[in-house]
Every structure is written in structure tokens, then in C-alpha cells.
Structure 1
Amino acid sequence: MTFFSLEFSILISAFFIIYWIFKKYYKIQNILVLLFSYLVYTLINPYFALILLIYTFFIHYFALLIFTREKKYILFISIISVILNLCFFKYFSDIKDSLNIVFNYLGFDFLNIDIIFPIGISFYTFNSITYLVSVYKKHKVESFINLAIYLSFFPTLLLGPIMKSEFFFNQIFKKRKFGNIDLIFVLLLFGIFKKVFLANYLEIYSKGILDDPQNYSFLELLSAIYAYALQIYCDFSGYIDLVSAFALMLGFSIPINFNMPYLATNLKDFWSRWHISLSNFIKEYIYIPLGGNKKGILRTYLNIIIAFCLSGIWHGNTINFLIWGLLHSFGVIFNHISLFKLKKFPFIARFVTFHFVCFTWIFFYYPNLEDSFEYLKICYKNFFLLPDYETFYVLIVFSILFIIYPSFRNYQKNCTRILEATPLILKPIIIAFLLLLIFTFIPNEIPNFIYSSF
């Protein structure tokens, strides 16, 4: 079951009706959210729901230990245990063969363990770390039920954004009002449009070229990596728009995760706009505890490299993801030490930053270093190879989009205002027409979200 299936649409519609029947009783609403979140997760895979339930028990136990003992080493052991749990599930497929060899050697050859990576485990792991740190700092522990609601909250369960425990618990104990209806519809429309329409067609175009680069010219390869850069943005930000709408339907808000990232004029600016919740998590729970920028220039640069390398390894355990993280760390450091700043030339700064990000996406897309270098080698080899006319049209479209992109800064607010000003009788007609238009022209299949594998 996916968020775009008919079954989920019927299920969530029924849930919202029941949920708002109890609008005067937020405690009952909380229980309904918990039950529905586990229902959604169970329908995806019952095994995932069981893992989450067991995990929640352990986090609650760790929190009680931290609360009663107030020892920093208990917090440290708890966080290490949580991270090791994530690593076990995330990288089990890579160590499975080695484990089988050990089992065979010990005479346990009858054991053939196969463990599936639970979708969303990275995000509820990060959420739990913010909770454990909060318990240690503020000396306040939540009930098991409240913790279970937080870790299983279905809008953020599968792909985030990472939501700090204080941010969530500040909302859970309040009566909720159903509002922002126009904003909800705008977020739903943009979420569906970005994912099922834009991201799908961009994937069809980029995948055909990037998976077989030998047969394409430099300009075609360039246009494909542009398409992939837009695809990964539309894919992930489309999901965030969708779940932000779900959260608003419940009377909750979730953290902003994207803020026009390709408007960035340097890499530091880019990471303040792209996957904001992850950037903030890395800064607060990795970079600053390492010393941040308080222990000298060299230590600052080392901390930046460590933070970005860990970010890269989180995305995957291949050398490519490590290189991706390293390249971004070097870019941020270069921005620190560079005497020549492009702030006076914002268009050029944005152009350079965007192309650096596109270059690093090469290592994000390909599964191994050999394929990444093969792409770069083919770019050089086929530099003077003439593409077909269609590629020139595609590049012209991308160029126009890059130029007019700044004008979309307030597109969400502007669209919401337009919908607010639309007569009530016309709103359902317009929304239905737009949805019909999107679903009429989408490809036959809707692929999984790119970040579901992280």
C-alpha cells in the first residue's frame, strides 16, 4: 500500500472523519493517531510494525534509566545502542554472507537468516535520539503511550522529516482545531504533482541516459544529470508536501524540510535549504558535540569533514556515498577559506553552486565508483559528439527554469491566497479538475520514493 493508492485514500478519509468526531478530546485523538499509524505500518509490512513496537519498549527503558540515574555515560550507551541497532538493519545484507560463513564454520549451517530493512527506521531512530538527549537535559520522561505516538506518527514515520521530541510533545497535549484548509489542498496538489508527475517523467528521461551513458553525447549526459537533480528534489519535497498536509489535517505541524535549495549561492546555504531537518540534526547532535567551530580552524574543518562523511555513510555504505559526503565537506570548507566571494554576483554564485551539487549527484546516483568514473570519462570522450535536436530543447527548458526559479519563492503562499480568494462553489471543481489532469497524464507506474531506501 502506498500513499497514492485508492485503498489508502479511503482508509485515511475514514480515519479523519472518526478523528474529528472527538475534536474536544485530544487524548482520544492521540490514541486514534497511534492506532492508525500502526495500522498503516502493519499494512505495509507487519514485521516492520513489530520491530517498531519492540524498539519503542527499549527506548522507553533507556529513557527511564537516564531519568532515574542522570548519568552521562548511560545516555552515551543508550545512543550507541540505538545507532548499532540502525546499523545492524541497514547493513545486514552486506554482512549476511560473512555471517553465513561463521555459522557454517561453527556447525550452524542450518541457520539461514534473512532480515529485511524496515522502512523508516532511520527517521524514527533519529527522532528517538533527540528524545533521549531531551530526557537527559530537561529531566522529563514521557509515558510509553506518548512515546509510541511520537515514534510511530505516520506522517513522518516513513521518510521524515526528523522531528525533535520537544517540537512534537509541545503539540500533543493541546486541543486541535481543523484549519488551513486551502493550504492543505495546495500541499496535497503540489505533493501529488511533484511526485507522480514531475519526478516520474524526470526519472524516465534521466534513467534512460544515465544507465547507458556510452551511447550519449556530453550535452545529453549533462541534461540527464540536470533531470536527476530535479527528480530527487521533486521526489522528496513532494513527499514532504504530502505529509505536511496530512499533519495539518490532524491539527499538527511538522518541520520545514526544503526551502528552494537550488537558490543556494554556496554549499553552506544549500545545506540550510536541503533536507533541513537532517542538516539541523547533524549540526546539533554531531558537529556541535565534536566541538563545532569553538576549537580552532583546523578542528573546525575536521569536524565539518566528519559530519559530512557520517551523512554520506548514512545514505549508504558504498565508497560513492562517502565521496559524496567528502565532496560536500570540501565545498563547505572552500567556501570558508575562499577570499573571492560571489555574493555580489548572485546569479553566477547560484550557477556555480547548482553545478557543483549536480556533479556530486553523480556519486549519489551510481552504485559504485567505477560507474561514476565511467560517466565522467564518457562526458570527456563524447564532448564533441552532436546530440539530437530534442536535447537542445530540453536544455533550453532547463535554462529557462533556472532563470525563472527565483520567482517561485512564495509559490505556496501565493497559490494558497488564490485558492482562498476563489468562490467556495468553484473550489471543488478546480481541485477535481487539476487532480484529473495530473492522473490523466502520469506514467503507468509510480516508483518508490528515492529516500525510502535510506
Structure 2
Amino acid sequence: MFSFLSVEFALLFIAFFMLYWAFKKRPDIQNMLLLIISHAIIYLMAGMMAVGILFVSGIVIYFIARQIIISHHKKTWMTTGIIITLINLSVFKYYEFFRANIIRALEMWQLDNTGLMANIIFPLGVSYYSFQAISYLVTLYRQSVVYEKNEQTKQSEQEKQDENNENPISYLYFWQALTHFSFFATVSAGPITRVNETKGLIDIMGKPCGMYDQLNEPEPRQLLYPKIAFALIVLALAKKWWLAGYLADNWVNPVFANPTGFHSLEVLTAIYGYTLQLFLDFSGYSEMMVAFGLLLGFRLPMNFNAPLLAHNIRDFWDRWHISLSTWIRDYIYIPLGGSRKGFWFTQINLIIAMVLSGIWHGSTFNFFFWGLLHALAIALLNVGDLACQKISGHAKGRNFLTNTGIIGKTLGVLITVHFVVFAFVFFRATTLDEALLVFNALFSNHINVAWTNNPLYLLAILALAWLVYPLFHRHQKNVGRLILKMPSVIFYVLCFMIFMAVVILAPSGIPGFIYANF
């Protein structure tokens, strides 16, 4: 199995790394090499169909982007591009939901039900490069309209002609555009990058990280923070391969596979364990991709910011899967009207955006319900803040509970974490009935059901980790500075020792990344 955690990928990346930096003075050639290796990795992971769909989609989006610039029907072309992208995404994303009906229809018409129509496979990364394509088209359209208006104010045709040579539109040329959509560090499970700098998306050093400047920069690229990059890779391996793998194999998977066979405390431990497993898995993956980006001279956005320390559900979504939550904000919530039409319309827009986020994660009803739970939680939080504002008479009622002091903030964190944890049961279960079965076991299996494992042991470790984590989060910048100052020999020896410990302690086999399925 070819994976970012496999020896095969490590050897391929090392060979590519040396070839890539052999052309240090030619960013254009580096872009071409990056395009080739990205498609090669997708092929090794998911086969030729995934590569073909990715390549064709990139070409289609590129030519639509050209039309947005040169055509007088810019909005029509943008809308066409978005519709094509959404149709492509929907066919693969929600095909499974209709598979049984399609097979029955083929049988009814006495057609082959074993061929392509009955066995479409979800291509790796289609969600993420579709999101990047939509962002690219919308950004290009907006800037193109602004640029065209500015052109109309020029005083002479000569001035127009001169200015056309300095078009500020964030337009990626053919190979750069394909590289942006297919970059292996973002295509399989994010982070979702943007061509321009975007509010909320920052790199590991807290700086904006739009891809346009990075892909089109004519000056030679530099290897960025190699020590930080290797530290992130080792951290990612520990989080994903060892800790998330242990939780999955020993607690989460057994309990969710047969919740009725486990004691209530074990079920509770598995529920807590799944949230931590998901966080470790996805944040580990995201940090690994950021590290690969740094090693290739790119600054990719950080996707997590201590989400399990969020003091309310709104704060949680500012910290969890940041590249997705900001995408939902910019391309669903704001186009729906955002907060422009008053308080109650704002809540409706929020609910629609969050429900669509849930549906994006999967076509089964449990994902819809998970999205709806988060939507209602955010809306109720906003209503509560408004009520507290009116009752207290304060002009600003946002985050009212947190602003009451340390006790209020602690209570807010506890409430938020437990809401997120129990909502994730619907995320982990394959159906709504399966999720309800887990909750039934949680509240019913405390009588006449013996422990299989010792849940108190893991619950104590989870509680201790949660209490210590704020301290680590508070000092992570200091840790980064310490790494940069550490002598290289000592640092890399330490990294190798931690890596070997992970290899020894991690479960056998090469696990897949959870979010690659979305």
C-alpha cells in the first residue's frame, strides 16, 4: 500500500527532493517537477482514474479561468466553472448513496450491473481540488471585475495598453494552475490553499500564505525552516501512527463495531478516544503536509489551533479544520448573505452553511444530523449571547460566558468539548441507527456487563493530557525557537531517536488517513 507513511513514499520523496533542489535557480522547472510528482503520487495511491479526473479537471478550470479574464461575460463563465466543478464533485461524492438504486435499474433494463456505471470509485482528493478550483474562479472573477472597472477610468488608449502589461489579477499560467490544483501536499486531504492571502489562513510563522506569489515568484526558492519541518514530521508520525493508531486498534474500533458488548465506561472511553483519534490523525496529517511544503520552499496554511481548548462552538470552528471553515465562510455563508440582512437571517445562513458542511462529509443521514447539531449549537450560542447582552445592558454580549472570568471560560471549554465529543459519535458511525446504538450502550450497559479493558486507566491518561495540553500550547512558540537554536547534530539525532521509538511503539501496518475518505 502506497501511503505518506510508507517506506516507498519516503524513498520517492528523497529522490524527488534532490532532483527538485538541483534546479534551485529555475522555479519554473521546479513547478513542472512538482506537477509530475504530484500526479505520480496520486497514481500510486489511487490509480489512473483519479489521475485522469484530476488532470482533466485542472485543464477545464484553467480554460474557464482564461475566459473569465478575456470575456465580457465573466460572471457566466465563473458560474459555468462552479457548476461543472460541483457536478464533478457530486457525481463521485454522492454516487454511493444511489448505487443500490442504479444497480437495480440496470437489472430491470437487463443491462450489465458489474460495469463502470455500477462501480464508480471515489477519486482521491476530488473534494479538495474542487474547493481550490471554486476559490480560484471566484477570486479571479472578483479581481477581474475590479480591474476592468479601473481600466475604464484610464485617460487614454495608450495608458490602457501599457497597464495591460501589468495586470494585477491573480492569474496562474497553465502549468502553475495545474500545480496549484494537484500539489500532493494539499490534494489528498487539504489544507485547502487559496491563490490570494485570506483572513484566517496563516502559515506556521503566522504569516499570510497565498499560493499565487509562491508559484509565480521568479526568484529562486529557499528551503524553509528544515529543523521545524523535520520536527513536524516526527510529531505527525507520533500523533498519527502511534497514538491515533493505538486508540483506534485498542478502543475505538472494537467498541464502535459492537457497542452492546462493552460496559458503559468503556463506551464512554471510546467516544472520548475517537475525538482524540480524529484530532491526532488529521492534525498529524496536516502538519506533515506543512512540513513537506517547507522542505520544498512553500508556506502552507496551518489547519488546527488547539480546537479542544475552544471556549464555545463558534471558537471551535475558528480552530478546527481552519482551511475548510474559512472556505465555508467565504463561499457559502457570505454568498448566502452572511450577516448583512439582520440577526435572524444570519442564523439561517449559518445553519444552511453548517448543514452543507455536514453533507459534504458524507451522503448518509448521520452526517446531515452532525452538521445540523453544530448549526443549531452555533445559532443557539448567538441567541444566548444576544439575550445576555440585552439582560446585562452591555454593548458587547459576544462570548458572554467566557468574558465573566476564568470560571466562565473553564465552564465554556468543558461544555464545548463535551458537545463536540458526543456529536462526533454521529460522525464516526456509518448510519444514524449505529450512532443511536452507541448512545444506548452508553446509558444502558452499566448493569450486568463486565469490563473488557480498564477504562479508568485510559480516562485518567486522557484527562491528564487534556490538563497538560494548554501548557504545551502556550509555550509552543518557545519550543520552536529552542529547536531553531539547537545544534543540528543534536537535533537530528534526537529526531531519529524519537522516530525509532515511534516505529517500535506504533501498531503494525500502515494506517490510512481518516480525512482522505472525504
TM-score between the two structures when normalised by the length of structure 1: 0.96
In the alignment, which of 438, 441, 444 is matched to residue 375 of structure 1? 438
Deviations 1:255-274 (A, max 9, x none): 11100000101000000000
> Structure 2: how far apart are the matches of 1:421 and 1:245?
18
SS of the residue 2:454 aligns to:
helix
Corresponding residue of 1:360: 423
Corresponding residue of 1:297: 343
> Structure 1: how far apart are the matches of 2:30 and 2:514?
32
In the alignment, which of 269, 273, 278 is matched to residue 315 of structure 2? 269
Letter in 2 for 1:347: T
Contact 2:176 2:216 in 1 (8 A): no
Deviations 1:358-389 (A, max 9, x none): 11001001111111111112222124668648
What is the CA-CA distance between 1:47 and the residue it aligns to?
1.9
Question: Considering only CA atoms, is the larger Rg found in Structure 1 or Structure 2?
Answer: 2
Corresponding residue of 1:134: 139
SS of the residue 2:94 aligns to:
helix
In the alignment, which of 221, 230, 236 is matched to residue 176 of structure 1? 221
> Structure 2: how far apart are the matches of 1:51 and 1:366?
30
Letter in 2 for 1:75: M
SS of the residue 1:136 aligns to:
helix
For the structure 1 residues 223 and 104, does the alpha-carbon distance in structure 2 shift closer, same or farther, using more than 3 Å as the test? closer
> Structure 2: how far apart are the matches of 1:362 and 1:284?
28
What is the CA-CA distance between 1:42 and the residue it aligns to?
1.8
Contact 1:161 1:240 in 2 (8 A): yes
Contact 1:100 1:112 in 2 (8 A): no
What is the CA-CA distance between 1:33 and the residue it aligns to?
0.9
In the alignment, which of 64, 76, 79 is matched to residue 76 of structure 1? 79
Deviations 1:81-111 (A, max 9, x none): 2111101011223323333444455564477
> Structure 2: how far apart are the matches of 1:229 and 1:218?
17
> Structure 2: how far apart are the matches of 1:66 and 1:421?
48
What is the CA-CA distance between 1:22 and the residue it aligns to?
1.4
Q: Which moved more, 1:162-171 or 1:312-321?
A: 162-171
Letter in 2 for 1:342: L
For the structure 1 residues 39 and 390, does the alpha-carbon distance in structure 2 shift closer, same or farther, using more than 3 Å as the test? same
For the structure 1 residues 64 and 106, does the alpha-carbon distance in structure 2 shift closer, same or farther, using more than 3 Å as the test? farther
> Structure 2: how far apart are the matches of 1:414 and 1:50?
45
Q: Which moved more, 1:137-146 or 1:54-63?
A: 137-146
Deviations 1:36-92 (A, max 9, x none): 111111222122111111111211222123222343233223212211110101122
In the alignment, which of 417, 420, 424 is matched to residue 488 of structure 2? 424
Deviations 1:270-326 (A, max 9, x none): 000000010000000000000011112221111111001100000001110000000
Corresponding residue of 1:147: 177
In the alignment, which of 304, 308, 329 is matched to residue 354 of structure 2? 308
Q: Which moved more, 1:428-437 or 1:326-335?
A: 428-437
For the structure 1 residues 412 and 24, does the alpha-carbon distance in structure 2 shift closer, same or farther, using more than 3 Å as the test? farther
Deviations 1:394-436 (A, max 9, x none): 1111111222221121454333333333333322321111111
Corresponding residue of 1:347: 410
Contact 1:219 1:387 in 2 (8 A): no
Contact 1:311 1:325 in 2 (8 A): yes
Deviations 1:121-179 (A, max 9, x none): 10000000011112211124432211111111111011101111221111112231113
Unaligned runs of 5+ in 2: 145-168, 197-209, 389-399
In the alignment, which of 107, 110, 115 is matched to residue 112 of structure 1? 115
> Structure 1: how far apart are the matches of 2:476 and 2:514?
23
Q: Which moved more, 1:415-424 or 1:362-371?
A: 415-424
Contact 2:42 2:124 in 1 (8 A): no
Q: Which moved more, 1:391-400 or 1:361-370?
A: 391-400
Contact 1:182 1:416 in 2 (8 A): no
SS of the residue 2:335 aligns to:
coil
> Structure 2: how far apart are the matches of 1:342 and 1:217?
35
Letter in 2 for 1:318: T
What is the CA-CA distance between 1:225 and the residue it aligns to?
0.6
SS of the residue 1:409 aligns to:
helix
Corresponding residue of 1:55: 57
Contact 1:220 1:387 in 2 (8 A): no
> Structure 2: how far apart are the matches of 1:214 and 1:110?
37
Contact 2:282 2:514 in 1 (8 A): yes
> Structure 1: how far apart are the matches of 2:193 and 2:240?
22
Residues 1:390 and 2:391 are matched in the alignment? no
Alignment of 1:279-298 (within 5 A): 279-298=325-344
> Structure 2: how far apart are the matches of 1:118 and 1:374?
31
Contact 1:63 1:135 in 2 (8 A): yes
What is the CA-CA distance between 1:246 and the residue it aligns to?
0.3
Superposed CA RMSD in Å reads 1.8
What is the CA-CA distance between 1:191 and the residue it aligns to?
0.9
> Structure 2: how far apart are the matches of 1:57 and 1:18?
26
Corresponding residue of 1:6: 7
TM-score between the two structures when normalised by the length of structure 2: 0.84
Q: Which moved more, 1:117-126 or 1:198-207?
A: 198-207
Corresponding residue of 1:447: 511
SS of the residue 1:255 aligns to:
coil
SS of the residue 2:13 aligns to:
helix
> Structure 2: how far apart are the matches of 1:97 and 1:367?
16
Contact 2:232 2:291 in 1 (8 A): yes
Residues 1:408 and 2:472 are matched in the alignment? yes
> Structure 2: how far apart are the matches of 1:157 and 1:110?
31
Corresponding residue of 1:189: 234
Unaligned runs of 5+ in 1: none
SS of the residue 1:208 aligns to:
helix
Letter in 1 for 2:237: I
Contact 1:260 1:409 in 2 (8 A): yes
> Structure 2: how far apart are the matches of 1:158 and 1:385?
45
> Structure 1: how far apart are the matches of 2:31 and 2:18?
14
Contact 1:186 1:416 in 2 (8 A): no
How many residues in Structure 1 have an aligned counterpart in Structure 2? 454
Deviations 1:222-270 (A, max 9, x none): 1111100000000000001111010001110111110000010100000
